[in-house]
Structure 1
Amino acid sequence: MASPNSHPDGYERGDPWFEDGNIILLTNEPCIAFKVHRGVLARHSEIFQSMFELPPMTTGPNAEVLEGCPFVRMYDPPAELSSLIKTLYDYTAFQNRNATDFFHVAGVLKLATKYIIARLRSHAIRFLAETWSSTLQGHDRMIELALRAPPVDGLSFPYVHPLHVLSLAREVDAPVLIPSAVYFLSLYPLTDILRGDHPKLKIEHPSRPPNQLSPLDIQDYTLMYQHRIDAILGLVRTTCGARTVSPGCTGNVCMKAFAKLSALLSRSWFVRTGPLHFMLQALDEVDNDGSLCAQCRRAFKKDVTAARQKLWDGLPGVIGLPSWDDLESDYMPPRSS
C-alpha cells in the first residue's frame, strides 16, 4: 500500500486545471487533481496560506510532485473543492434556479467555513438568507415566489427541503437561517419527514446535507409546530372571534362580519397552514367585505399587521435562539464596502 506522501498511482485532472498553476490540490477518494495558483488561494484563506508555507518534498522516492508540480493532499469531496476553487477565482453570483444551485452554494459554504474564508462564507449565508429570510418582508417575497414560480424538475420553489437547509445551517454554524427553516419544516407532518420519501429529500448530490432529524431538530420542530397552531387559533378565536367594534362604528353589522370571518377562517385552515400567510388572507377577506365600516376595517388591518410582525419577531425565541438582530450581527456581518 502506498504511503500517504507517495506519488498517486492513478488520478484524473479536475476542473479547474490551470497549466500555469504552481500547486496541485489532490483529493483522496476519488483521486482528482486541481492545478491552481498558490497566491490566489492563500490571499483568501489563512489556512491555505499556512498549508502552502510548508516546503514540499520535491526530490527522492517520496517526492510530492505530480506532472512536475508540487501537490497537497486534500480530504474534501472533489465536487465541493472544485466549486470552491471556481468561486474564489471567478466570484460568480450564486443562483437559485433549481435544487442543484442550492447544493452548489452548500458545498461552497461548507468549505468556506472549514478554510475560514470569511468574506465568501458571509456572502453565501447572505445569499441563502434571501430565501430563508431573517425579515418578514423577505419571508413574504419567498411565499409569493413559491405561489407563482413554475415547478423545476418537478419540484416547487424553493426547490429544496427545509430539512436540508436546517442541516446545513447547523453544520456550518449559521443559526440566522434556522428559524425560517424550522418554521417551514413544521409545515410538514413529522411522519413524512421521518419516512424521508419526499421528492426533495430523495435528490442525490455530493453536497446534499443530511436527511435525518437530530434530537435537537425534533425538539425545535415540535416547539415551532405548536407555536404555529397557537398563532392560527389566536387569529381565529381572539383577533376575529372575540373582536369588538372600533370607536365610531355606526352599527352591529361589523360584529356580524367579524363573527362570519371567524367562522370562515376556522373552516379554512389545516395542519399545514402557515399563520403568517393565513393572516394576509384574513386581511384580503376584510378588504373584500363591503359591509365593514372604514374604522373597523382600518383597526383590524392595524392589529393583524402588528400581530404578524410580533409573530415573526418571536420565531427565534420559540426555539431558544437570540433575536433576529443578534443573529444577523453575529452570523451575517455587514457587507464589505
Structure 2
Amino acid sequence: MPDTPPVKRKRTADSSPADPDTTPVRSKIWMPYGDIILQAESTQFRINRDVLARHSSVFADMFLIPLPSDEPTVEGCLIVRVSDTAKDWELLLDVLYDPFQESVSRPFAVVAAMLRLGKKYDIPQARDDALSRLHFEYPADLEAWDALPDHLTKIEDERGIHPDLLNLVYECGVYSCIPTIGLSCLHLYSLEALFEGVEHPEGSCVTLSSDTKLTLAIALERLLFFQRSALGWLENNAVIPHKSCQTRNACIRSKKDINHTVTWWEKETHDVTYATGEWPDSWSGKLCEACETAAREYTDTSRQKGWELLPTFFGLPKWKDLKDLE
C-alpha cells in the first residue's frame, strides 16, 4: 500500500488544523470511558484508543509509543490531532462503534469516509466494506453489470450521486470503477450539466475537476463513434434483410423506422447506451424471426466489443490490465 500519512499529535504545517482561536466543539461521539480525544478540524471526539488500534495498524503502531504527558488534555485525555475532515471521522466512528452490516445500503458520505480513512489509516474493515459496495455497483464484468437493477442497492441512490462517485474513485484510485461510473454519468446527464455542476437534493452542487471533464468529453466522442459503427447494420443491408427473410420489404421498413428513432434520440440526448446495452425491448417483434435473430446476434457481438473497449474510452487500460491502486 502507499506510504501512510502520519497521525498528528501536534499541529504541523500540513495538518490544516482549525484556526487557533476557534473553540473546539464536542461531537456527539463522546464515550464516557474513552481514553483519548481525537480532534479533526475543530471537532473533538472522545473515543477508546483500543478501538482505533484494533481496526487501524497506523494507530496501533502509534499507540505503542508513549504519549507525552505534558500535552494539553481534555477531561484527563490526551488530544490526538488528525488532518482529515470532522465529517469523515464522525461518519467512520459511527460505523466503528456499530457492527458492520454488509446487506445494508449505506449513504454515499459514509462510504466515502470509510474508503478515504480506511485507506489512509489502514483500516481494512472500513476500506474493504466500501470497496465491496463500489465493485458490486460498478463491476468490471459485463454479465454482472447486466444483472444489476436500474438503481443502486448497496449505496443509497440519490440525485447527483454519480458525479460524487466519479470524484471519489479518482481520488482513491479505484480505477476499475471509473468506466462504468463514467458511462452512467454520460447516460444520466448532458455534458453541459456535468461541466456546470450537478445539483444535490439539498441544493449543493457537485463539480468535477478540469481533467475529469476533459476525460468525459473525450469518452463521449469515442462512445458515440463506436456506437455509430455498432449500429451500422441499421443503415445497410449487411445484416437485414437476412437471407431467410420472407418479408423483405416489411423488415427493411422496420429497420428504417428503428434507425430513425435511434438517430433522432442519439442526436437529441447523446445517448450512449447502445454502445454496451442489451437489445432494446422496443425493437422486439418489429422484424421477422430470422432478421431479429441475426440482428440480436450482431448487437450482442458489438456490445461485447464495446464493453471490452469501454475503459479505453476513458483513457484507461483494457479490463484485464486495469487495476485499482493498492
TM-score of the aligned structures, taking structure 2 as reference length:
0.78
1:192 maps to amino acid: A
Residue in 2 that maps onto 1:275: 273
> What is the distance in 2 between the residues matched to 1:16 and 1:263?
59
Pair 1:252-2:248 in alignment: yes
Q: What pairs with 1:140-151 in structure 2 (closer than 5 Å)? A: 140=146, 144-145=150-151
Does residue 331 (structure 1) correspond to residue 321 (structure 2)? The answer is no
1:71 alignment partner, SS class: strand
Note the residue ranges of structure 1 that are not aligned, 5 or more in a row.
Answer: none
SS at structure 1 position matched to 2:150: helix
- 2:209 matched residue in structure 1: 213
Cα shift at 1:175: 0.9
Distance 2:306 2:99 in 1: 37
Would you say the 8 A contact 2:275–2:306 is kept in 1? no
Equivalent residue number for residue 194 of structure 1:
195
Among 106, 113, 117, the residue aligned to 2:119:
113
What residue is the counterpart of 1:241 in the other structure?
235
**Cα offsets for 1:63-87 (capped at 9, x unmatched):** 3432122331222211211211222
Q: Deviations over 1:160-217 (max 9, x none)?
A: 2433222211111111221122223334444333333x3239754xxx9x624233x1
SS in structure 2 of the partner of residue 25 of structure 1: strand
**Structure 1 residue 52 and structure 2 residue 43: aligned?**
no
Give the match's secondary structure for 1:320. coil
2:306 paired with 1:311: yes
Alignment equivalent of 1:42, drawn from 53, 75, 81: 53
Post-superposition shift, 1:221? 1.1
Check the 8 A contact 2:91/2:110 in 1, yes or no: yes
Number of positions where the alignment pairs a residue of Structure 1 with one of Structure 2: 302
Distance 1:332 1:130, change over 3 A: farther
Seen in structure 2, the aligned counterparts of structure 1 residues 283 and 239 have a Cα distance that, compared at 3 Å, is: farther
Provide the identity percentage: 24
- Report the Cα offset of residue 115 of structure 1: 0.8
Which position in structure 1 is the counterpart of 2:16? none
Structure 2 distance, partners of 1:279, 1:117, is: 37
Runs of at least 4 residues off by over 6 Å: none
Q: C-alpha root-mean-square deviation of aligned residues, in Å?
A: 3.4
Which residue does the alignment assign to 2:179? 179
Check the 8 A contact 1:125/1:332 in 2, yes or no.
no
Deviations 1:234-266 (A, max 9, x none): 344x12221333343334243343233223322
The alpha carbon displacement at 1:226 in A equals: 0.7
